[in-house]
Structure 1
Amino acid sequence: MPTDTHWTTTPVTEELLRGALDLERTEHGVLPHRLPARARAQNTDPQLAMAESQPAGVRLAFRTRATAIELDTLPTKREYVGAPPRPDGLYDLLVDGRPAGQASVAGGNVLRIDMTKGTAETRPGPPGTVRFTALPDGDKDVEIWLPHNETTELIALRTDAPVHPAPDRGAKVWLHHGSSISHGSDAASPSTTWPALAASIGGVELVGLGFGGGALLDPFTARAMRDTPADLISVKLGINLVNADLMRLRAFGPAVHGFLDTIRDGHPTTPLLVVGPVFCPIHEHTPGPAAPDFSNMADGQLKFVAMGDPADPSRLTLDTIRRELARITAERSADDPYLHYLDGRELYGEADAEELPLPDALHPDAATHRRIGERFAKLCFTDEGPFHA
């Protein structure tokens, strides 16, 4: 803890956070959540519990003259048995909307996961401090994007000048739900996941509900979206339903209708975009479940394989899901002119997979996140796109 009397400590409150739907008080400080307490109480899946507590798209946003910032946090990091250590999560600093620095917090809790046994245990660790110094003098808008892949408890914010909540610049709020790709799996940093990049290009405020392994048409997620103020809404559906082998074709259509109906209960005329799956060779015509291939795990080369029977027409594949989503949105749009559909292969298709293959057969790398984000912005935020002003 600094002793310099010029430091100002500011409590971390909802007014300083963007992209979180709830703020839980803990013994250390506060923990941002991307699902509200009511939704969390209805969830029994530890994977989703971990994913929603990882603050993808969540950032501190304030206005200040400060030239030095310190943020004490307690991260919870993942460690996989048999795999090389994962790099520490990154904090992205933006000043007046432009990248101005990156830093990490060493230490913290460690969630040790054994994928072969399906077990996990947490080893407690100490908090740490992320520091940004030599910022330009004068009033400025500051954002600190929290690591998208580490649960992050916020303990203390210190600056060498007072801070105030960032003013409302009138930007539209974009509420987006999706899978680990929307969560930011294998993106370079929290402000360079594809939704964050698309939001930056489109000049909108992102509320990101991308959950690794958790885009499963859960009713409590739909209700959270129904109750969240938004000017633009998108749902990217498909890959998790296939690789989890969660439901059959008979259940899929009604579940999509119910999910969209719930969102529409709170947002009857908001532009609502349904996005089909991006291209993923292992699941285009082969259903799930997906299973990890551990043969090169020691070298950090985890891959996934599809285990389902492609001859079973009741099982979901990405090709089947795209056809169903296109049909459902076309039928609903007759009574809902604000509903739109985007085939995910327009964001990342077969030709892209040849140029930029998915490293583990499921998740895009940093370059692919950038391509998807730029294409989404061009297709949706410009010209005659569904989110065009």
Structure 2
Amino acid sequence: MSTGELLTTPLTADLLRGALDPEHTERGLLPHRLPARARAQNTDGRLATAQSQPSGVRLVLRTRATVVELDTLPTKRVYVGVPPRPDGVYDLLVDGRLTDRSHVPGGNILTIDMTTGSAEVTPGPAGTLRFDGLPAELKVVEIWLPHNETTELIALRTDAPVEPVPAPDRRVWLHHGSSISHGSDAASPTTTWPARAAAIGGVELINLGFGGGALLDPFTARALRDTPADLISVKLGINLVNADLMRLRAFTPAVHGFLDTIREGHPTTPLLVVSPLLCPIHEDTPGPAVPDLSGIAEGKLRFRASGDPAETAAGKLTLGVIREELARIVAQRAVGDPHIRHLDGRELYGEKDFAELPLPDALHPDAAAHLRIGERFADLVLRAG
């Protein structure tokens, strides 16, 4: 079949996995990772952007097609004074095996000024992703969307009919966390640490990791409550410190309330509370985290903690304080809840890991560290049951 003879298949929600609320737009389908009710209650533009970036979201179809084309409209971030970020990556899996990677040119541009906090969107054109040379036999094709680019799906074309794939008969793992869980500096959508862990552990991933957005928001807890799952994990702490959002007095009841809400919908589902990974700038120093602009001229963006360690006496949060309190909260709740567990995040990434794979910007793990964290989580949690 020539390019002109490709079949067009309507983009519908049953072709998507990992998105809680695919929105039908004038042009196509926009995957959201928070439901409409939560989005309506949110007033944070950063979280609105993060939940629309489809980390863990993939297009899944069964077909004999040898050619797959996907038109998308990405929204790409540009930081003033920092070299352009690479285009978002699309991973192609055929029958579960990574077969190809590509990107989509063009798209909208979201320009962010770290010094003022301003953001401006410049509209751009849609682009086309094309994978060809696929085997002609019947197979399951997955296209994992870029974890760090808002991606509106416009059109799907193939040289053979496609059909949705029923949800696989395996456990569903529902995870919530910060930008590290979102994917931060991972190399591609299937190499974020949650995606890597899910692949090793043989579970179906729903990733509610939001850059800057693990802030104990009640609407996020309700989204977790209302999403069917066989295992739930919540990784809490780093955003509460680097945003300097609350004090210890507010943190403890907020954690209890967050977990109580999840338990309303999942009274006996295994629930894992994960404390922060090692992050030296915030281990004993409160936030907020602020950009270190000294390296901007060389194209390097780093962060530093701007709080005073002495302020912990007045209730300001550090990662050390949060780890201790999360362990205490889980131990207290476990008396009446035999299905809750705690995992110290330093078992996933600790001092030895930092010495070998330091955080490039002082906050986020690099691509190699994402793979290590995912493998550790799979070994400690998913394989261990």
TM-score by length of 2: 0.98
1:10-69: CA deviations, max 9, x gaps? Answer: 111111000000011222211100000000000000000010000000000111111110
Could you tell me whether the CA contact under 8 Å between 1:11 and 1:157 is conserved in 2?
yes
1:76-108: CA deviations, max 9, x gaps? Answer: 000111111111000000011110000100000
Equivalent residue letter for 2:165: A
Residue correspondence of structure 1 range 154-165 to structure 2 within 5 A: 154-165=153-164
The residue aligned with 1:72 is 71
Question: How far off its partner does 1:331 sit?
Answer: 0.6
The residue aligned with 1:140 is 139
The residue aligned with 1:367 is 368
Residue correspondence of structure 1 range 155-304 to structure 2 within 5 A: 155-304=154-303
Percent sequence identity over matched residues? 74
Question: How far off its partner does 1:349 sit?
Answer: 0.3
Where 1:177 maps in the other structure, the secondary structure is strand
The residue aligned with 1:342 is 343
Question: How far off its partner does 1:333 sit?
Answer: 0.6
Residue correspondence of structure 1 range 324-339 to structure 2 within 5 A: 324-339=325-340
Could you tell me whether the CA contact under 8 Å between 1:232 and 1:272 is conserved in 2?
yes
1:250-285: CA deviations, max 9, x gaps? Answer: 000000000000000000010000000000000000
**Distance in 1 (alpha carbons) for counterparts of 2:258 and 2:168:** 31
**Distance in 1 (alpha carbons) for counterparts of 2:62 and 2:167:** 11
Equivalent residue letter for 2:64: R
Show structure 1 runs of 5+ residues with no match.
Answer: none
Question: How far off its partner does 1:171 sit?
Answer: 1.1
Residue correspondence of structure 1 range 21-40 to structure 2 within 5 A: 21-40=20-39
1:144-189: CA deviations, max 9, x gaps? Answer: 0000010000000111111111133301110000000000000000
**Distance in 2 (alpha carbons) for counterparts of 1:175 and 1:224:** 10
RMSD: 0.9
The residue aligned with 2:93 is 94
Question: Does structure 1 residue 4 correspond to structure 2 residue 9?
Answer: no
**Distance in 1 (alpha carbons) for counterparts of 2:203 and 2:307:** 40
The residue aligned with 1:128 is 127
**Distance in 1 (alpha carbons) for counterparts of 2:75 and 2:270:** 36
Where 1:164 maps in the other structure, the secondary structure is strand
Could you tell me whether the CA contact under 8 Å between 1:176 and 1:208 is conserved in 2?
yes
CA 1:3–1:96: 2 relative to 1, 3 Å: closer
Question: How far off its partner does 1:300 sit?
Answer: 2.5
Where 1:285 maps in the other structure, the secondary structure is coil
TM-score by length of 1: 0.97
Where 1:154 maps in the other structure, the secondary structure is strand
Equivalent residue letter for 2:23: E
The residue aligned with 1:321 is 322
Number of residue pairs matched by the alignment: 382
**Distance in 2 (alpha carbons) for counterparts of 1:211 and 1:145:** 17
Where 1:22 maps in the other structure, the secondary structure is coil
Question: How far off its partner does 1:3 sit?
Answer: 5.7
The residue aligned with 1:19 is 18
**Distance in 2 (alpha carbons) for counterparts of 1:268 and 1:9:** 44
Show structure 2 runs of 5+ residues with no match.
Answer: none
**Distance in 1 (alpha carbons) for counterparts of 2:382 and 2:41:** 34
